[in-house]
Chain A
Amino acid sequence: MIDPIPRPRTLVGWAMGVSLVVIGCDAPGRADADAIPEHPPASSLEVDASLPRSLSGVSRVAADGVAGPGGTAFSVVARSDEIVQYPCRLCHDQPLEPRAGGDVSERWAHQDVQLGHAASTGMTCATCHDHAAMDRLVLPGGERVSFDHAYRVCAQCHHREVRDWAGGAHGKRIGGWRGERVVLSCTGCHDPHDPTTPILTPDRGPSVPRTGRGH
C-alpha cells in the first residue's frame, strides 16, 4: 500500500519513525521492568545536590529487624562510609571516661557536635555511644549496632517514627517508586546530635495570587 519508490522525505520519516519505535516504545516488551533508566540530570534539576538522584553508586545495607509494607525487605543507605573520621578507633584506642553534659570546651575534637537532643532530660554522649568501643553505637541492653543500622537506636524512643519509616510514611526513599526500595537512614536526614528543623529561605512563590479570594 506504499509508493514503490519512496520519496526521500518518506524514507527520512520512516527512519525517524523506526528509530523512535526502538527508542521510545516501552510498554509490553520491556526486558527489565524494574530498572530505572539513568537519565543524566540536567544542571537545573540538582535542587539539593546532597540527595542522591539514582541508585547507582549508593552503598546500602539490608534493613535489619524491620520490614517494609507487607513484610517486604528494603535497604537503607549506608552511613559508615559517610562519616569523615571513621573508624573511630583510629583515635579512640583507649576507653574514655564518659564526659557528661557534652561541654564543648573540654573536647579535643568534635567541637562541631552540639548536643541538642533531649540533653535536658538526661541524654548524653553515653546514651548512644559506647566509650569502650567507639566504632559502634550501643543499645540500652548493651548490644552494639553499626552506624548503618542507627535506626535501631533511634527506635528505642522513636518507635512510632521508625514504624512509619519502615512502612513508608516517614523518611525519604531514593531512586524511584518501582524496583528496589532504598531509603535514607534516620541520620540521613536528622543530625542525631541536634535534630532541629533547619530554617531556610523558600524558593520563589507564584506571581499571581491563585487562592480563592484573589483568584
Chain B
Amino acid sequence: MDLLSLARGHAPDPTPPERASADPHRCGCGGGGCGGRGTDSGSDAGADAGAGAPPHLRAADRAASDPEAGLSRRQALAVMMGAIGVSASTAQAVSSPATGATGREKKLLEWEEYFKGNFRLMSDDERHETLARLERLAELRHGVDAKIRGDGAVPGTLFGYAFNISRCKGYRKCVEACVAENNQDRRSNMQYIRIFEMENGEMNLEEGSAEFAHEVPAEGHYYIGTQCFQCANPPCVDVCPVGATWQEPDGIVVVDYDWCIGCRYCEAACPYWARRFNWNEPEVPAEEINPVQHYLGNRMRPRGAVEKCTFCVQRTREGRNPACAEACPTGARIFGNLLDPNSEIRWVLENKKVFRFKEELGTEPKFWYFMD
C-alpha cells in the first residue's frame, strides 16, 4: 500500500487466494490504489505513512488473508504488541477488581487511540472512528453521554474579539462560564481567562493583580482581561516540534491534545501567557461535565497535554457566542466575524480607538481592547 491510499484511509483489500490472478499487483489494492507499485517484502512505503498508519487490526486482516503481501516491520510490531497488550490486559482484568468486560474495552479503546495519527491528516473515516472511541471512553471513564464533534471551520468566517475596558468590573463571570463550558481541571483550578485589577493610570499588566479576592469594582482601579488572542501570526504554532497545534481557517488556534507531547515550547513561546499545561489528569465532577464537546475544543483532555482558550470552538462554529462573551453581565465582550462588514466587531474596529497588546512583536492578535 502506498502513502496516498493509506492517507485516503482505504482499507487494504484482503485478497483471498482465488482472486490473486485478477490482482496483478498482488498488493491487495485491487488494481486501483497502489499506483502499480504493489508491496513486496522489502517495501516499507505503506508502513512509513506515519500519521496514516492503520490500526493494528487492519494489519492483521491484511496479513491473514494475503500472505504474499508481507508485513513491514512496523506493522508486525504493532500486531505483536497488540497481541501482547490484549493478553496482558486480559490477564490484568482477570486479576484486577475492576469489571473485566468494561476494563478490557477501555484498554482496547485506549490502545487504538494510542496508534491514531494527527487529526489534520486523518481521513473522514478515521475521524469518525476516533470520535466514536472518545465518546465511548467518556462514557466508561466519567459516565457522561458526550457528543464529540469534529466539524471544520465555517466558510467565510474569521473570528475576532473586542474587550471594552470601561465595562469590565472584575466580576469574573466570564471565568466561571469558561471553566464550566470547557471542562477545565478543577483540581488545579485551571482558568484560561485572567482578569487583572489595575490601578488607574497603570498600563503595565505585570503591575496588576490577577488574584484579587475582594469586592469589585474597587475604587481607583480598572479591570482588564486576557486569554488566548488567536494570533494571526502565532509564535506557539511556529515552535511546536510535532505539529500538534495549528491555526484553523476560521482563525482559531487549536491543539490536537492526543498528538501533543507536552514539551511546553508553545507555553514558553506565547507572549501573553495564554497556554496552560495539565500537570495532572484533569478532574471534573461528572455532573459538571459539559457533554457538548468538540475534538479540538472542550473534550476531556489527557494529562500532559497543553490547552488554551479556543474561542469556544464547539459553540462559535454553530453561531453561538463564546461562553465568556455570553456570560459577561456588562456587555464588555464583543465577538463576531471579522469578514462580515456589518458585524459589531468590525464596527468597533472602525469606530472606536482600539489597541492590542505587544503590537511590536508582530503576532497580530485577533483580540482588541477599547474604552467607551
Contacts and interface: CB of A to CB of B under 8 A. Distances in A.
Interface residues of B, number: 89
Contacts of A206: 189, 191, 194, 210-211
Given A20-B128, A176-B319, A200-B216, A169 B162 contact: yes
Interface in B330-344: 330-331, 334-337, 341-344
B272 to A, nearest CB: 10
Interface stretch (A29-37, A105-113, A114-122): A29-37
A175 to B, nearest CB: 8
B172 A202 contact: yes
A118 B61 CA distance: 81
Interface string B106-131: 00000000000000000011001101
A95 interface: no
Contacts of A28: 155
B345 A27 contact: no
Interface string B290-334: 111000000000000000000000011111110100111111001
B33 interface: yes
A205 B326 contact: no
Q: How big is chain A's contact interface, by range?
A: 35 or more
B51 to A, nearest CB: 20
Contact of B342 (A13, A69, A189): A69
Contact of A45 (B147, B177, B287, B341): B177
A168 interface: yes
Given A210-B273, A211-B210, A197 B327 contact: no
A65 to B, nearest CB: 18
Contact of B171 (A23, A69, A203, A209): A203
Interface in B159-207: 162, 164, 167, 169-173, 175-177, 180-181, 188-189, 191, 194-196, 205-206
B74 to A, nearest CB: 21
A70 B328 CA distance: 25
Contacts of A172: 328-331
A200 B215 contact: yes
A23 B151 CA distance: 10
Interface stretch (A47-55, A136-144, A149-157): A47-55
A195 interface: no
B173 A47 contact: yes
Given A69-B346, A199-B215, A202-B170, A13 B132 contact: yes
Contacts of A207: 188-189
A3 B61 contact: yes
Interface string A32-75: 01111101001111011001010000000000000011101000
B367 to A, nearest CB: 15
A24 interface: yes
B188 A203 contact: no
A201 B13 CA distance: 64
A1 B33 contact: yes
Contacts of B175: 203-205
Contact of A17 (B132, B290, B345): B132
A179 interface: yes
A177 B352 CA distance: 19
10 A-B pairs with the lowest CB-CB distances in the bound complex, closest first: A168-B344, A17-B128, A172-B331, A212-B206, A70-B342, A178-B319, A69-B347, A203-B172, A167-B347, A44-B180
Given A1-B13, A24-B131, A169-B164, 17 more contacts: A16-B132, A26-B151, A36-B318, A42-B291, A47-B177, A167-B348, A168-B343, A169-B334, A169-B347, A176-B319, A184-B331, A200-B215, A202-B170, A203-B173, A203-B175, A204-B189, A211-B206
